[in-house]
Structure 1
Amino acid sequence: MYFPVFLLLMITFGSQLSFGVFFKVIANEFGFSRALVSGIILASLIVYGISSLLSGRLTDKWGAFPVVLSGLVCGSLGYLLITTARSFLELYIYYGLGIGLCVASSYAPISATISKVFPEKKEKMLSFAFLGIPFGQLFLPPFLATLLEKFGWRMTSFSLSVLLWLFFLPILFQLWKYRKIHFRIKEKRIGKFDLIFFRNPSLWMLLITGLVISAGFHFLSIHIVPYATDLGMPLSLAALTLSFSNLGSLLGTFSAWYLVKQFGHKKSSSYSCA
Structure 2
Amino acid sequence: MNGRFAVVFGACLTQFTIIGLLFSYGIFIKAFETEFGWSRTLLSGCSTLAFFMMGLLAMVSGRLSDRFGPRRVLAVTGISYGLGYVLMSQISAPWQLYLIFATFLGLGLGSHDVVTLSTIGRWFSARRGIMTGLVKVGTATGQIIVPPLAALLIAGFGWRMALMTLGVAAAVLLFIAAMAMRSPPVAASTDPLAPPQGMAFASARRTRAFWTLGATQFLLMPSLFTVPLHVAVHGMDIGMSAPLAATLLSAIGVASIAGRLLVGGLIDRIGGRNGYICCFAALILGLCILILGHSHIALFAAMAVYGFGHGGFFTVVSPTVAEFFGLRAHGAIFGTVLFFGTVGGSLGPILAGLVFDTTGSYFIAFSGLLVMAALGLGLVLSLPTPDPEAVPASV
The verdict on a shared fold, with TM-score over 0.5 as the criterion, is yes
Q: Which of the numbers 151, 157, 182 marks the counterpart of 2:157?
A: 151
The yes-or-no answer on 1:238 pairing with 2:242 is: no
Structure with greater helix percent: 1
Partner residue in 2 for 1:6: 12
Partner residue in 2 for 1:255: 262
Structure 1 residues 131 and 180, CA, compared in 2 at 3 Å: closer, same or farther? closer
- Cα deviation for residue 55 of structure 1 reads 0.4
The yes-or-no answer on 1:131 pairing with 2:144 is: no
* Distance in 1 (alpha carbons) for counterparts of 2:176 and 2:12: 10
Q: Which moved more, 1:59-68 or 1:220-229?
A: 220-229
- Cα deviation for residue 230 of structure 1 reads 2.2
Partner residue in 1 for 2:39: 33
The yes-or-no answer on 1:103 pairing with 2:122 is: no
Q: Which of the numbers 241, 258, 268 marks the counterpart of 2:275?
A: 268
Structure 1 residues 86 and 250, CA, compared in 2 at 3 Å: closer, same or farther? same
Q: Which of the numbers 161, 165, 185 marks the counterpart of 1:181?
A: 185
- Cα deviation for residue 20 of structure 1 reads 0.8
Q: Which moved more, 1:39-48 or 1:261-270?
A: 261-270
Tell me, yes or no, if the aligned pair for 2:119 and 2:183 is still in contact at 8 Å.
no
SS in 1 for 2:265: helix
Q: Which of the numbers 73, 76, 98 marks the counterpart of 1:70?
A: 76
Tell me, yes or no, if the aligned pair for 2:74 and 2:175 is still in contact at 8 Å.
no
The yes-or-no answer on 1:215 pairing with 2:222 is: yes
* Distance in 1 (alpha carbons) for counterparts of 2:262 and 2:199: 33
Structure 1 residues 184 and 126, CA, compared in 2 at 3 Å: closer, same or farther? closer
Q: Which moved more, 1:221-230 or 1:32-41?
A: 221-230
Tell me, yes or no, if the aligned pair for 2:130 and 2:261 is still in contact at 8 Å.
no
* Distance in 2 (alpha carbons) for counterparts of 1:157 and 1:240: 19
* Distance in 1 (alpha carbons) for counterparts of 2:167 and 2:125: 33
Q: Which moved more, 1:192-201 or 1:8-17?
A: 192-201
Structure 1 residues 182 and 151, CA, compared in 2 at 3 Å: closer, same or farther? farther
SS in 2 for 1:211: helix
- Cα deviation for residue 217 of structure 1 reads 2.2
Q: Which moved more, 1:59-68 or 1:76-85?
A: 76-85
Q: Which runs of 5+ in 1 are unaligned?
A: none
The yes-or-no answer on 1:201 pairing with 2:208 is: yes
Q: Which moved more, 1:196-205 or 1:30-39?
A: 196-205
- Cα deviation for residue 161 of structure 1 reads 1.4
Q: Which moved more, 1:146-155 or 1:256-265?
A: 256-265
* Distance in 1 (alpha carbons) for counterparts of 2:200 and 2:151: 43
- Cα deviation for residue 171 of structure 1 reads 2.5
Structure 1 residues 191 and 135, CA, compared in 2 at 3 Å: closer, same or farther? closer
The yes-or-no answer on 1:114 pairing with 2:120 is: yes
The yes-or-no answer on 1:49 pairing with 2:55 is: yes
* Distance in 2 (alpha carbons) for counterparts of 1:36 and 1:208: 27
Q: For each residue in 1:103-153, what CA deviation from the matched residue of structure 2 results, as whole angstroms up to 9, or x when unmatched? A: 212211111211222323332221111111122112211111111111111
- Cα deviation for residue 258 of structure 1 reads 1.9
Structure 2-normalised TM-score? 0.63
Q: Write the mapping of 1:83-102 to structure 2, written as runs, cut at 5 A.
A: 83-102=89-108
* Distance in 1 (alpha carbons) for counterparts of 2:229 and 2:272: 30
- Cα deviation for residue 8 of structure 1 reads 1.3
Matched residues, number: 271
Q: For each residue in 1:214-237, what CA deviation from the matched residue of structure 2 results, as whole angstroms up to 9, or x when unmatched? A: 211221111111122223322111
Aligned CA-pair RMSD: 2.4
* Distance in 1 (alpha carbons) for counterparts of 2:64 and 2:71: 10
- Cα deviation for residue 71 of structure 1 reads 0.8
Tell me, yes or no, if the aligned pair for 1:11 and 1:136 is still in contact at 8 Å.
yes
SS in 1 for 2:102: helix
Q: Which moved more, 1:28-37 or 1:201-210?
A: 201-210
What amino acid sits opposite 1:217 in the alignment?
L
What amino acid sits opposite 2:28 in the alignment?
F
Q: Which moved more, 1:147-156 or 1:198-207?
A: 198-207
Partner residue in 1 for 2:366: none
Tell me, yes or no, if the aligned pair for 1:9 and 1:132 is still in contact at 8 Å.
yes
Q: For each residue in 1:194-232, what CA deviation from the matched residue of structure 2 results, as whole angstroms up to 9, or x when unmatched? A: 445333221222222222222112211111111222233
